[in-house]
Protein backbone atom coordinates (compact mmCIF):
# COMPACT_ATOMS: atom_id res chain seq x y z
CA UNK A 1 0.00 0.00 0.00
CA UNK A 2 1.28 3.51 -0.84
CA UNK A 3 2.53 5.61 2.07
CA UNK A 4 -0.08 8.28 2.88
CA UNK A 5 0.87 11.83 1.90
CA UNK A 6 1.28 14.30 4.76
CA UNK A 7 -0.73 17.50 5.10
CA UNK A 8 0.36 19.93 7.81
CA UNK A 9 -2.14 22.36 9.26
CA UNK A 10 -5.60 22.62 10.82
CA UNK A 11 -8.63 21.63 8.69
CA UNK A 12 -10.29 24.91 9.75
CA UNK A 13 -7.79 26.75 7.53
CA UNK A 14 -9.28 27.49 4.12
CA UNK A 15 -6.06 26.63 2.29
CA UNK A 16 -5.67 23.34 4.18
CA UNK A 17 -9.28 22.38 3.51
CA UNK A 18 -8.79 23.00 -0.25
CA UNK A 19 -6.06 20.35 -0.27
CA UNK A 20 -8.14 17.95 1.83
CA UNK A 21 -11.10 18.27 -0.54
CA UNK A 22 -8.81 17.48 -3.47
CA UNK A 23 -7.29 14.43 -1.75
CA UNK A 24 -10.76 13.10 -0.94
CA UNK A 25 -12.00 13.65 -4.52
CA UNK A 26 -8.94 11.81 -5.80
CA UNK A 27 -9.26 9.07 -3.20
CA UNK A 28 -5.65 9.55 -2.07
CA UNK A 29 -4.74 8.45 1.46
CA UNK A 30 -3.43 11.22 3.70
CA UNK A 31 -2.20 11.90 7.17
CA UNK A 32 -3.24 15.22 8.69
CA UNK A 33 -0.54 16.58 10.97
CA UNK A 34 -1.45 19.27 13.48
CA UNK A 35 0.30 22.64 13.46
CA UNK A 36 -0.56 24.67 16.55
CA UNK A 37 -0.89 28.14 15.04
CA UNK A 38 -1.96 29.71 18.35
CA UNK A 39 1.44 28.70 19.69
CA UNK A 40 3.20 29.97 16.55
CA UNK A 41 4.34 26.52 15.40
CA UNK A 42 3.94 27.65 11.77
CA UNK A 43 6.77 30.15 12.34
CA UNK A 44 9.17 27.66 13.97
CA UNK A 45 12.53 27.05 12.24
CA UNK A 46 11.60 23.38 11.75
CA UNK A 47 8.30 24.20 10.01
CA UNK A 48 9.85 27.01 7.92
CA UNK A 49 12.01 24.35 6.28
CA UNK A 50 8.90 22.96 4.55
CA UNK A 51 6.84 26.20 4.30
CA UNK A 52 9.26 29.15 4.10
CA UNK A 53 6.45 31.72 4.32
CA UNK A 54 5.29 30.32 7.65
CA UNK A 55 1.77 29.49 6.48
CA UNK A 56 -0.39 26.39 6.30
CA UNK A 57 -0.67 24.03 4.52
CA UNK A 58 2.62 22.32 3.93
CA UNK A 59 2.60 19.02 2.10
CA UNK A 60 4.97 16.06 1.80
CA UNK A 61 4.92 13.11 -0.53
CA UNK A 62 7.86 10.73 -0.78
CA UNK A 63 10.89 13.06 -1.11
CA UNK A 64 8.97 16.18 -2.19
CA UNK A 65 7.76 19.04 0.02
CA UNK A 66 5.29 21.55 -1.38
CA UNK A 67 3.41 24.66 -0.29
CA UNK A 68 0.61 26.76 -1.92
CA UNK A 69 -2.69 24.91 -1.78
CA UNK A 70 -3.58 25.26 -5.47
CA UNK A 71 -0.14 24.02 -6.57
CA UNK A 72 -0.48 21.07 -4.19
CA UNK A 73 -3.90 20.24 -5.68
CA UNK A 74 -2.51 20.33 -9.21
CA UNK A 75 0.31 18.00 -8.18
CA UNK A 76 -2.13 15.54 -6.58
CA UNK A 77 -4.29 15.53 -9.73
CA UNK A 78 -1.32 15.05 -12.07
CA UNK A 79 0.26 12.30 -10.00
CA UNK A 80 -3.00 10.44 -9.45
CA UNK A 81 -4.63 11.08 -12.82
CA UNK A 82 -6.08 7.56 -12.85
CA UNK A 83 -7.42 7.57 -9.30
CA UNK A 84 -10.73 8.77 -7.86
CA UNK A 85 -12.38 11.55 -9.84
CA UNK A 86 -10.38 11.18 -13.06
CA UNK A 87 -11.70 14.34 -14.72
CA UNK A 88 -11.05 16.65 -11.76
CA UNK A 89 -8.18 18.37 -13.57
CA UNK A 90 -9.46 17.80 -17.11
CA UNK A 91 -9.09 14.97 -19.57
CA UNK A 92 -7.52 16.88 -22.45
CA UNK A 93 -5.66 20.09 -23.24
CA UNK A 94 -8.77 22.19 -23.87
CA UNK A 95 -10.51 20.92 -20.76
CA UNK A 96 -7.43 21.67 -18.67
CA UNK A 97 -7.05 25.17 -20.16
CA UNK A 98 -10.59 26.03 -19.12
CA UNK A 99 -10.02 24.63 -15.62
CA UNK A 100 -6.77 26.59 -15.30
CA UNK A 101 -8.56 29.77 -16.38
CA UNK A 102 -11.16 29.37 -13.63
CA UNK A 103 -8.63 28.35 -10.99
CA UNK A 104 -6.89 31.64 -11.79
CA UNK A 105 -10.21 33.49 -11.59
CA UNK A 106 -10.72 31.98 -8.15
CA UNK A 107 -7.20 32.87 -6.98
CA UNK A 108 -7.08 36.36 -8.52
CA UNK A 109 -10.71 37.54 -8.34
CA UNK A 110 -12.81 35.47 -5.92
CA UNK A 111 -10.18 34.80 -3.24
CA UNK A 112 -8.89 38.34 -2.55
CA UNK A 113 -12.33 39.72 -1.67
CA UNK A 114 -13.77 36.53 -0.13
CA UNK A 115 -10.76 35.83 2.10
CA UNK A 116 -10.95 39.33 3.60
CA UNK A 117 -14.67 38.84 4.24
CA UNK A 118 -14.06 35.41 5.78
CA UNK A 119 -11.43 36.85 8.09
CA UNK A 120 -13.48 39.90 9.05
CA UNK A 121 -16.83 38.18 9.46
CA UNK A 122 -16.02 34.62 10.58
CA UNK A 123 -12.58 34.67 12.21
CA UNK A 124 -12.24 38.16 13.76
CA UNK A 125 -15.24 37.64 16.12
CA UNK A 126 -13.89 34.22 17.21
CA UNK A 127 -10.48 35.76 17.84
CA UNK A 128 -12.11 38.68 19.64
CA UNK A 129 -10.58 41.13 17.15
CA UNK A 130 -12.39 44.32 16.05
CA UNK A 131 -14.07 44.20 12.64
CA UNK A 132 -13.16 46.69 9.92
CA UNK A 133 -16.53 47.86 8.57
CA UNK A 134 -14.96 49.72 5.65
CA UNK A 135 -13.06 46.63 4.48
CA UNK A 136 -16.25 44.56 4.81
CA UNK A 137 -18.27 46.97 2.67
CA UNK A 138 -15.57 47.37 0.02
CA UNK A 139 -15.00 43.65 -0.32
CA UNK A 140 -18.68 42.82 -0.40
CA UNK A 141 -18.96 45.17 -3.38
CA UNK A 142 -15.91 43.60 -5.04
CA UNK A 143 -17.18 40.07 -4.50
CA UNK A 144 -20.63 40.98 -5.80
CA UNK A 145 -19.07 42.08 -9.08
CA UNK A 146 -17.09 38.83 -9.32
CA UNK A 147 -20.23 36.82 -8.64
CA UNK A 148 -22.12 38.73 -11.34
CA UNK A 149 -19.57 37.35 -13.81
CA UNK A 150 -20.03 33.86 -12.34
CA UNK A 151 -23.80 34.20 -12.65
CA UNK A 152 -23.50 34.77 -16.35
CA UNK A 153 -20.97 31.96 -16.85
CA UNK A 154 -23.04 29.51 -14.84
CA UNK A 155 -26.02 30.31 -17.04
CA UNK A 156 -24.01 28.85 -19.93
CA UNK A 157 -22.50 25.78 -18.28
CA UNK A 158 -23.29 23.61 -15.26
CA UNK A 159 -19.90 24.19 -13.64
CA UNK A 160 -17.31 26.93 -14.10
CA UNK A 161 -15.00 25.15 -16.53
CA UNK A 162 -17.70 23.20 -18.36
CA UNK A 163 -20.25 20.51 -17.68
CA UNK A 164 -18.18 18.54 -15.15
CA UNK A 165 -17.18 19.38 -11.60
CA UNK A 166 -13.48 20.32 -11.57
CA UNK A 167 -10.63 21.61 -9.45
CA UNK A 168 -11.79 25.11 -10.37
CA UNK A 169 -15.14 24.62 -8.60
CA UNK A 170 -13.48 22.80 -5.70
CA UNK A 171 -11.14 25.72 -5.08
CA UNK A 172 -14.12 27.92 -4.19
CA UNK A 173 -15.44 25.62 -1.45
CA UNK A 174 -13.33 26.76 1.53
CA UNK A 175 -14.12 30.49 1.38
CA UNK A 176 -17.63 29.90 0.06
CA UNK A 177 -18.38 27.62 3.00
CA UNK A 178 -17.44 30.23 5.59
CA UNK A 179 -19.31 32.99 3.76
CA UNK A 180 -22.50 30.95 3.56
CA UNK A 181 -22.38 29.21 6.94
CA UNK A 182 -20.33 31.33 9.32
CA UNK A 183 -20.39 34.88 8.01
CA UNK A 184 -24.09 35.44 7.38
CA UNK A 185 -23.41 36.17 3.70
CA UNK A 186 -25.35 33.32 2.05
CA UNK A 187 -27.29 35.99 0.17
CA UNK A 188 -24.29 36.72 -2.03
CA UNK A 189 -24.88 33.23 -3.45
CA UNK A 190 -28.64 32.78 -3.09
CA UNK A 191 -29.52 36.12 -4.71
CA UNK A 192 -28.04 34.81 -7.99
CA UNK A 193 -29.98 31.83 -9.25
CA UNK A 194 -27.20 30.15 -11.25
CA UNK A 195 -24.62 30.76 -8.54
CA UNK A 196 -27.07 29.36 -5.96
CA UNK A 197 -27.65 26.18 -8.01
CA UNK A 198 -23.89 25.78 -8.51
CA UNK A 199 -23.14 26.37 -4.84
CA UNK A 200 -25.75 23.83 -3.72
CA UNK A 201 -24.29 21.24 -6.08
CA UNK A 202 -20.62 21.71 -5.23
CA UNK A 203 -21.07 22.06 -1.49
CA UNK A 204 -23.10 18.85 -1.27
CA UNK A 205 -20.36 16.65 -2.70
CA UNK A 206 -19.34 13.79 -0.38
CA UNK A 207 -15.71 14.96 -0.43
CA UNK A 208 -16.63 18.40 0.86
CA UNK A 209 -19.03 17.00 3.47
CA UNK A 210 -16.12 14.96 4.83
CA UNK A 211 -13.96 18.07 5.04
CA UNK A 212 -16.72 19.88 6.95
CA UNK A 213 -16.90 16.92 9.36
CA UNK A 214 -13.15 17.21 9.97
CA UNK A 215 -13.62 20.94 10.58
CA UNK A 216 -16.50 20.35 12.99
CA UNK A 217 -14.47 17.77 14.92
CA UNK A 218 -11.54 20.20 15.11
CA UNK A 219 -13.67 23.00 16.51
CA UNK A 220 -15.67 20.92 19.02
Ligand X SMILES: N[C@@H](CCC(=O)N[C@@H](CS)C(=O)NCC(=O)O)C(=O)O
Residues forming contacts to ligand X in the complex (CB under 6 A) are 13-15, 42, 54-57, 68-70
Residue 170 to residues 103, 127, 190, 192, 207, Cα–Cα distance (Å): 9, 27, 18, 19, 10
Bond before 69 cis per omega within 30 degrees: no
Query: What's the closest the beta carbon of residue 18 comes to ligand X, in angstroms?
Result: 7
Query: What's the closest the beta carbon of residue 126 comes to ligand X, in angstroms?
Result: 14
Strands (E), 42-187: 58-61, 64-67
Residue with nearest beta carbon to ligand X: 55
At what angle are helices 14-25 and 173-181 packed, to 10 degrees? 120
Query: What's the closest the beta carbon of residue 92 comes to ligand X, in angstroms?
Result: 26
**Nearest residue to 178 via CA among 113, 219, 122:** 122
Cβ proximity to ligand X: between 57 and 176 the closer is 57
**Nearest residue to 2 via CA among 59, 117, 57, 80:** 80
Query: What's the closest the beta carbon of residue 55 comes to ligand X, in angstroms?
Result: 3
Cβ proximity to ligand X: between 13 and 166 the closer is 13
Cβ proximity to ligand X: between 42 and 74 the closer is 42
Cβ proximity to ligand X: between 119 and 189 the closer is 119
Amino acid sequence: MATPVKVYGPPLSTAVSRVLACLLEKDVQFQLLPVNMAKGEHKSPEYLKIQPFGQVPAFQDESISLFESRAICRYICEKHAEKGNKGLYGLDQLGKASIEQWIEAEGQNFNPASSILVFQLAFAPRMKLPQDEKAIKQNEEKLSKVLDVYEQRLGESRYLAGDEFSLADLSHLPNGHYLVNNADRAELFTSRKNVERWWNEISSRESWKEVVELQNKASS
